[in-house]
Chain A
Amino acid sequence: MNLQMFLQNLANGVSLGTLYALIACGYTMVYGILRLINFAHGEIFMLGAYFIYYNILLFALPWWLAFLIAVGATGLVGVAVDWIAYKPLRDAPRISALISAIGVSFFVQNLGLVVFGGRPKPFPVPAFFSQMVNVGGVRIMSLTFFIPILAIVLFLILSFLIYRTKPGLAMRAISKDIETARLMAVDINKTIAFTFAIGSILAAAGGAMWAMRYPQINPMMGTMPGLKAFIAAVLGGIGSIPGAMLGGLLIGLLEIMFVAFLPALSGYRDALSFIVLILILLVRPSGFLGEKGEEKV
């Protein structure tokens, strides 16, 4: 492999990795606050992509407006999922909410099959993202650059929300001690809704970029990226946002490099992240940046 190819793979890996990282943030935030693995998160990601698709094709909106509306709508769907499927189970044993999450995941997938149809749809990539740019002799699609840039902007906004705003403070308090947060008059349900909204918005942004990368969408498209992002979150230390970013980046890079260096084994690319997860959890049971002693999944 020459340097050019390596750089191309590196760019691809970083771009895939930041996508995983965006999705992983949603898992880790919801887990941090509810100790719940939101298995429906991959479906939220899928819905984000479909919302854009219909915004562009049915309503003929300009792409940026289509994106904004779809991302906002997905945030609302995330809040609704919490409201319908998890909120009634807040005081129930944790396993109930987990089963409910799996149920939502299947339900939304199948609803997608019925409403959107099972056949993959070609995704209309705006010209802005599909141009090829020449960087030092390497030809790369502009999207490959935009994904990490957009992801970094979103991460900065996310950090601001979590570390500099009142709802963010409430989130951090709830994640450590929900009862004492109650004593501080924190509105628990409002804060949880806020968490689902943010997580779903990030997932929708991820779904949009994923759809442009491939560029086609289908109702099952959320399963694999959802699973890998979940692995990324666990790898980074579930509950930790910097951990989710790190884990996502690592899984994305490994996956691309694995295929690049060992093309003969490329059929195993999806298994790779599981193997990495198992190996790393053997050495560091709470992930890279996770806290020790906290209960694990």
Chain B
Amino acid sequence: MLQLNDVHVYYGGIYAIKGISFAVPKGKIVSLIGANGAGKSTILRSIVGLVQPRSGSITFQGENLQGKRTDRIVKSGITMVPEGRRIFPNLTVKENLRLGAFPRDNDGAMAEDLNWVYELFPRLKEREWQKGGTLSGGEQQMLAVGRALMSRPSLLMMDEPSLGLAPKLVQEIFEIIKQIHKQGVTILLIEQNALAALRICDYGYVLETGSIIMHGTGQELLQHQGVRRAYLGIAE
């Protein structure tokens, strides 16, 4: 569904992504794990066109995304939950969700999707008229995920959805990810919480300073000595 081929990204003189290739097959959950600054967010940002790779190709459903405008890419079915939630603080919960439905330009289906999101996150329904900026961190994360779902993406990319959440909420978010996946959404998941990410994913990639150093099924990576030591904090 999504395919990256030898992608290189620079920020000015900083060489952030050093030739990365990977694929996200339709209907799967793929995880990208790695330490701070490894380049995880940069990869997602280049997929949606917020940064332009210097070379390499990114294709989605057979179509080249190179040089396409972000709004076009999002409209073609890729939605991203950005790092740090990025809720619009001046808009109500409902307005944030309405904005999430912009990519589809289909006001008719809005009500239906709103119900879907409110079923997944009943808390958002209760807070429909509250300003985004006054939500708690956990509620903001739910809103960020809900807002992304409003576009009915075929590929949902999440940049550290569990960041800063209490363990119970982390669990809840991962449950939701599973539910979304069951409804047929393909997922590309970035996580610092490597254990949870590898447990849930079909396939995982380990990123280190801009290169993929290892990949395998979630199970394989969970068993791997190096991964266990470096990313799961398990010493043997």
Encode A178-204 as 1/0 by CB contact (under 8 A) with B.
011111111110000000000000000
Which of A170, A172, A175, A182 interacts with B50 by CB under 8 Å? A182
What residue in chain B is nearest A186 (Cβ atoms)? B102
Query: With A177-B86, A183-B80 known to touch, is A169 a contact of B99 (CB < 8 Å)?
Result: yes
Please tell me if B210 contacts chain A, counting CB pairs below 8 Å: no
Please tell me if A176 contacts chain B, counting CB pairs below 8 Å: yes
Q: Which residues of B contact A (CB under 8 A)?
A: 48, 50, 70-72, 74-75, 79-80, 82, 86, 88-91, 95, 98-100, 102-103, 147, 151
* Subset of 23 A-B contacts with CB under 8 Å: A169-B98, A169-B99, A170-B102, A172-B90, A172-B95, A173-B99, A176-B88, A177-B86, A179-B50, A179-B82, A181-B99, A182-B70, A182-B74, A183-B70, A183-B80, A184-B74, A184-B147, A184-B151, A185-B71, A185-B74, A185-B151, A186-B102, A187-B71
How near does chain A come to B42, taking the closest CB pair, in angstroms?
Answer: 14
Q: Give CA–CA (A268, B72) in the complex, Å.
A: 55
Cβ of A184: which chain B residues have Cβ within 8 Å of it? 74, 99-100, 102-103, 147, 151
Query: With A169-B95, A184-B100, A185-B75 known to touch, is A176 a contact of B90 (CB < 8 Å)?
Result: yes
Query: With A170-B102, A172-B90 known to touch, is A180 a contact of B71 (CB < 8 Å)?
Result: no
Cβ of B80: which chain A residues have Cβ within 8 Å of it? 183
Task: Please determine whether A185 and B103 come into contact, CB atoms closer than 8 angstroms.
Answer: yes
How many A-B pairs with Cβ below 8 Å? 60
Query: With A169-B95, A184-B100, A185-B103 known to touch, is A176 a contact of B70 (CB < 8 Å)?
Result: no
Interface size class of A (residues with CB under 8 A): 10 to 19
Q: Give CA–CA (A186, B82) in the complex, Å.
A: 15
How near does chain A come to B101, taking the closest CB pair, in angstroms?
Answer: 9
Since A172-B90, A183-B70 are in contact, a sample of 17 more A-B pairs with Cβ atoms closer than 8 Å, ordered by chain A residue number, is A169-B91, A169-B95, A170-B99, A176-B88, A177-B88, A180-B82, A180-B88, A182-B50, A182-B74, A183-B48, A183-B50, A183-B80, A184-B74, A184-B151, A185-B71, A185-B75, A185-B103
What residue in chain B is nearest A182 (Cβ atoms)? B70
Q: Top 9 A-B pairs ranked by shortest CB distance?
A: A185-B103, A185-B71, A185-B74, A180-B86, A182-B70, A184-B99, A184-B102, A185-B102, A176-B88
Task: Please determine whether B98 and A183 come into contact, CB atoms closer than 8 angstroms.
Answer: no
Cβ of B103: which chain A residues have Cβ within 8 Å of it? 184-185
Task: Please determine whether A183 and B82 come into contact, CB atoms closer than 8 angstroms.
Answer: yes
How near does chain B come to A179, taking the closest CB pair, in angstroms?
Answer: 6
What residue in chain A is nearest B86 (Cβ atoms)? A180
Which chain A residues (217-254) contact chain B, with CB distance < 8 Å?
Answer: none
How near does chain A come to B212, taking the closest CB pair, in angstroms?
Answer: 25
Which of B72, B82, B91, B151 interacts with A172 by CB under 8 Å? B91
How near does chain A come to B220, taking the closest CB pair, in angstroms?
Answer: 33
Q: Give CA–CA (A186, B91) in the complex, Å.
A: 15
Give the interface centre of B50, B79, B89, B102 by most chain A CB atoms within 10 Å. B102
Task: Please determine whether A186 and B50 come into contact, CB atoms closer than 8 angstroms.
Answer: no
Cβ of A177: which chain B residues have Cβ within 8 Å of it? 86, 88
Q: Give CA–CA (A166, B151) in the complex, Å.
A: 15
Give the interface centre of A176, A180, A181 by most chain B CB atoms within 10 Å. A180
Q: Give CA–CA (A196, B95) in the complex, Å.
A: 23
Cβ of A172: which chain B residues have Cβ within 8 Å of it? 88, 90-91, 95
Q: Give CA–CA (A183, B151) in the complex, Å.
A: 11
Task: Please determine whether B71 and A186 come into contact, CB atoms closer than 8 angstroms.
Answer: yes
Cβ of B75: which chain A residues have Cβ within 8 Å of it? 185
Q: Give CA–CA (A166, B181) in the complex, Å.
A: 30
Cβ of B91: which chain A residues have Cβ within 8 Å of it? 169, 172-173, 176
Task: Please determine whether B88 and A173 come into contact, CB atoms closer than 8 angstroms.
Answer: yes
Q: Give CA–CA (A218, B90) in the complex, Å.
A: 41
How near does chain A come to B13, taking the closest CB pair, in angstroms?
Answer: 18
How near does chain B come to A133, taking the closest CB pair, in angstroms?
Answer: 42
How near does chain A come to B156, taking the closest CB pair, in angstroms?
Answer: 12
Cβ of A169: which chain B residues have Cβ within 8 Å of it? 91, 95, 98-99
Give the interface centre of B79, B90, B100 by most chain A CB atoms within 10 Å. B90
